[in-house]
């Protein structure tokens, strides 16, 4: 059974395959064609945290493909009403795949260990692989060859940054991250990245990271679950705002953000609403790429 808990679970060739399926489906969708290539398939969404993009793009996407979705909120009680093992073994009998958004990454790993259906990570505290697939697909649409590109990330080395770094490393892109010293990648994570082909640049200087970049990316300074650290982080990240001055150091770059954004903190209105911004295209691609992912992942299952 194939799962996607992080982008380490896919090879570069498999990511390219997902992108090829995505391109085909997106072209058809844009022309008004919705091919029901996954008739009767059932996708469960198991969410412990709020969501707009991930939830709705998966629910709409499986609908376009002829399948159905079941949204399971916190009341379903996995790991509380019953063990994750019992929950996973039963859920896997009913559905073809489950998208799981969990507070702790270990919970999604345990779900995947016991579920006889595909488990897709819809965000944990550690990774957000669906986001990174859509991000890289967006770079591919704008720049062409991802492997030739430089993606700069300014801000917290969080779940979004880790996933983007893995995707860039797999596809041979340069990933440059500028974060305050105490908010950089863990050394174990950097060591894992070394086995991939792309170059990793780590710096504390946002201008160094964005120089020559094809994409400049940022995310919130305090992620879901870190609300109590908001004030301290706002002070620690004050020099890491993506504003028009920083973007002028990367005049050729598009601006990306996974959203939701805290406007006026990690990004200013003039950048997110400005001519370099591709955030709406990027958010739309969440749906297209996840349709490609579902088609690729479920095609191999009976
Ligand atoms: N970018 C993203 O995952 O958004 P949601 O939290 O709204 O799903
Ligand atoms: N880093 C953010 C991403 C939200 C899509 C969070 O985990 O809250």
The response to whether residue 53 sits with its C-beta less than 6 Å from ligand 1 reads yes
* In a shared domain, residues 157 and 185: yes
Q: What is the CATH number of the domain that holds 119?
A: 3.40.50.1370
Q: pLDDT over 90 for what percent of the chain?
A: 95
* In a shared domain, residues 100 and 181: no
* In a shared domain, residues 92 and 162: no
Distances (CA, A) of 238 to 7, 213, 251, 265: 30, 22, 22, 8
* In a shared domain, residues 59 and 139: no
pLDDT of 301: 66
Question: ω into residue 260 within 30 of 0, thus cis?
Answer: yes
Structure tokens at 139: 């770079």
Is 162 designated active site? no
Is 3 designated active site? no
- The mean predicted confidence, pLDDT, of the chain is 97
- 256-267 confidence digits (pLDDT tens): 999 999 999 999
Q: Is residue 177 part of a domain?
A: yes
Burial group, residue 299, by CB count within 10 angstroms (0-12, 13-18, 19+): exposed
Q: Is residue 2 part of a domain?
A: no
Q: Is residue 1 part of a domain?
A: no
Å from CA of 224 to ligand 2 middle: 6
* In a shared domain, residues 147 and 274: yes
Is 257 designated active site? no
Q: Which atom of ligand 2 lies nearest, measured to the CA of 125?
A: 7
Å from CA of 32 to ligand 2 middle: 32
Reported pTM: 0.98
* In a shared domain, residues 64 and 159: no
| Residue 1: pLDDT band with limits 50, 70, 90 | confident
> How many domains would you assign to the chain?
2
Provide the domain limits for residue 201: 129-282
- 175-233 confidence digits (pLDDT tens): 999 999 999 999 999 999 999 999 999 999 999 999 999 999 999 999 999 999 999 99
Burial group, residue 60, by CB count within 10 angstroms (0-12, 13-18, 19+): middle
């Amino acid at each position: 059974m194939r799962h996607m808990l992080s982008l380490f679970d896919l090879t570069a060739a498999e990511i390219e395959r997902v992108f090829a399926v995505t391109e085909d489906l997106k072209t058809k969708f844009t022309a008004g064609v919705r091919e029901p290539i996954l008739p009767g398939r059932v996708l469960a969404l198991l969410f412990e945290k709020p969501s707009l993009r991930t939830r709705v793009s998966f629910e709409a996407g499986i609908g376009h493909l002829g399948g159905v979705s079941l949204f399971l909120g916190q009341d379903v009680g996995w790991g509380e009403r019953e063990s994750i093992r019992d929950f996973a073994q039963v859920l896997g009998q009913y559905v073809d795949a489950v998208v799981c958004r969990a507070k702790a990454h270990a919970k999604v790993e345990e779900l995947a260990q016991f579920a006889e259906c595909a488990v897709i990570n819809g965000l944990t505290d550690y990774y957000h692989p669906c986001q990174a697939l859509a991000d890289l697909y967006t770079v591919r649409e704008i720049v062409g060859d991802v492997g030739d590109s430089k993606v700069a990330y300014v801000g917290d080395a969080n779940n979004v940054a880790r996933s983007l770094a893995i995707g860039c490393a797999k596809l041979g892109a340069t990933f440059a991250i500028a974060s305050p010293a105490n908010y950089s990648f863990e050394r174990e994570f950097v060591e894992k990245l070394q086995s991939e082909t792309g170059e990793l640049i780590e710096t504390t200087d946002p201008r160094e990271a964005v120089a020559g970049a094809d994409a400049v990316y940022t995310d919130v300074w305090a992620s879901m679950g870190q609300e109590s650290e908001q004030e301290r982080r706002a002070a620690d990240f004050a020099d890491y705002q993506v504003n028009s001055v920083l973007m002028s150091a990367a005049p050729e770059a598009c601006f990306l953000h996974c959203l939701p954004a805290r406007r006026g903190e990690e990004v200013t209105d003039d950048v997110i609403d400005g001519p370099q911004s591709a955030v709406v295209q990027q958010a739309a691609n969440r749906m297209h790429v996840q349709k490609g992912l579902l088609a690729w992942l479920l095609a191999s299952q009976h």
